[in-house]
Amino acid sequence: MRHLLSALACLICVALPLHAEEVVADLSQDRVSISTSFDGSEILVFGAVKRDAPIPQGASPLAVIITISGPDEVVTVRRKDRRFGIWVNVEGVEVERAPSFYAVASTVPLDRALSETEDQRWNISTGRKLRAVGATEMAENPPAFLEALIRVREADGIYIQAAETVQLRDSTLFSTEIALPAALTEGDYNTRIFLTRDGQVVDSYATSIFVQKVGLERFIYALAHEQPLIYGLLSLAIAIAAGWIASTVFRYLLP
């Protein structure tokens, strides 16, 4: 009986090598509320690797990659050149769907944690992710535009590539902190966690963080979009009132 069981266990290991290691993960918060005093948020991503069997002898080390991707938006990348002595936009490439935020964190540099083919399959690196969502536009244009999009947005802290920021303990427990910037758009922030070995994805897990404006922020945003005329008139009323109050107060203060 015992022999049979171990034989069966071996069989499962051989037949389903991908499920030998599973990722179990959670986030410190799955909901971010944007209030008036919102100034960015730190998301703690943590989890463990669940194993049916011990790690085989001589297996290469495990790597963990974590990505967070904000809602897509339409962006235009423009290039300037000199015309008649002044610098003007000469070319523009529109990207239908570029994430408004994208962070990739990993235990080791991404090119070591992930092979090129696996990156193509899962769209993990920033460049791959952009090529996947804005495929046609980016394919027809020189790579300089894609590189520029990544460069500009990394400088703004909207796209983050953070290698070696995920801590992996005893090939089992992992955690990392990802800072969401203050300039956050509402929507679902898809979070993916990949386990890789020898550049191959062993297992993955996906969840999402829900980012929403609350309170006054919610009220103003909704009013502006649903009742634009009332919102506009209200804005004018505030302006007129502020102007009048200041004028009246100052008449008594500084005659």
Binding status of residue 162 toward another protein by CB under 8 A: no
Bridge partners for 80 per DSSP:
89
Interface stretch with another protein, choices 5-13, 55-63, 101-109, 247-255 (CB under 8 A): 247-255
| Count of residues in the chain | 255
Binding status of residue 78 toward another protein by CB under 8 A: yes
Pair 103, 159: CB distance under 8 Å = yes
Binding status of residue 211 toward another protein by CB under 8 A: no
**Could you say which DSSP state residue 108 is in?**
S
Interacting positions 167-196 with another protein (CB under 8 A): 182-187
Pair 65, 105: CB distance under 8 Å = yes
CB of 13 to another protein, least distance (A): 46
Structure tokens at 110: 């991404």
Among 34, 62, 63, 160, contact with another protein (rule: CB under 8 A): 34
C-alpha to C-alpha distance for 243 and 247, rounded to whole angstroms: 6
Residue 42: CB atoms within 10 A of its CB come to: 10
Binding interface with another protein (CB under 8 A): 34-40, 71, 73-82, 85-89, 92, 94, 100, 144-145, 148-149, 151-153, 155, 182-187, 213, 216-218, 220-221, 224-225, 228-229, 231-236, 238-240, 242-248, 250-251, 254
